[in-house]
Amino acid sequence: MRLSDAIALGRTIIKPKSGSYPTDTEGCALDMGMRATEGGNWHKSNRRWPWLEKECPTLPCNCFRARGWPNTVELNFSWAIIHLFDTHVFASEYSVAFERWSLDMLIDWVRSVEPQEETERSPEGTELGLQHTSKVEAARS
């Protein structure tokens, strides 16, 4: 299951909550994704979706530029999702000056950056057998 779809499903299972301490009923966007798949919390999400470890070339917000930093601060995709969820979707008193996002906006952004086809991994890091075959390879069979 793609992460964007897992987050969309996971929000029907647990309530959104920022921070890194998920509970049985609350959690962040990555917790929602993990809960919709095999369970666990955001700490295992990089093993489930290995592309999250890749560098996010640019953020869709201006938070870092507003602080005088370039918008290409080196963050991987998991930290970019955490930033967008905590600062924009689940804005708190310290981030009210920044642009508000809905959870749907975050899901749409994840969908726009996640690989269209990928090999998913279990939390233990083993392949789940979801490798995709190209049309050329299928024609040769």
pLDDT digits (tens, 9 = 90+) for 53-92: 998 888 888 776 555 555 555 678 998 998 899 888 887 6
CB-count burial class (<10 Å; 0-12, 13-18, 19+) for 118: middle
Q: Which pLDDT value is given to residue 129?
A: 42
| pTM for the full predicted model | 0.74
Give the Cα separation of 118 and 114 in Å (integer). 9
Asked if the model's pLDDT at residue 29 lies above 70, the reply is yes
User: For the segment 87-99, what is each residue's pLDDT rounded down to a tens digit?
Assistant: 888 876 555 567 8
Q: Which pLDDT value is given to residue 2?
A: 96
Asked if the model's pLDDT at residue 9 lies above 70, the reply is yes
- Count how many domains the chain has: 1
Residues spanned by the domain of 20: 3-140
